[in-house]
Amino acid sequence: MKGRAAIGDIEITDNEWAKACNLRDRYWLYVVFECSSAVPRLLHIQDPFGKLLATAKGGVIIDEREIFAAAESG
């Protein structure tokens, strides 16, 4: 679970990204945007390693547009 007060890129640690790589369909990423608002937005993505582009920076950075595009509906 990753949370942000607003909408923006998120950072996943190297260890979390490796776990996502190893578990694939059994790994889910949950992101909550606008945590500080009255209406936070929860997005969930199954197999983020397979669905998201990431940039290495200590951990990996995932662009918010990628998160919205890959999020499961419901």
pLDDT digits (tens, 9 = 90+) for 19-72: 999 999 999 999 999 999 999 999 999 999 999 877 766 778 888 998 899 998
Where in the sequence is the domain holding 9, given as residue range(s)? 2-70
Q: Total structural domains in the chain?
A: 1
Asked if 40 contacts 69 with a C-beta cutoff of 8 angstroms, the reply is no
Q: What is the Cα–Cα distance from 69 to 51, expressed in whole angstroms?
A: 9
Q: Is 55 left (phi over 0), alpha (psi -120 to 50) or beta?
A: beta
Q: Which of 70, 72, 53, 43 is nearest to 12 (CA)?
A: 53
pLDDT of res. 72: 82
Q: Which of 22, 19, 23, 29 is nearest to 52 (CA)?
A: 29
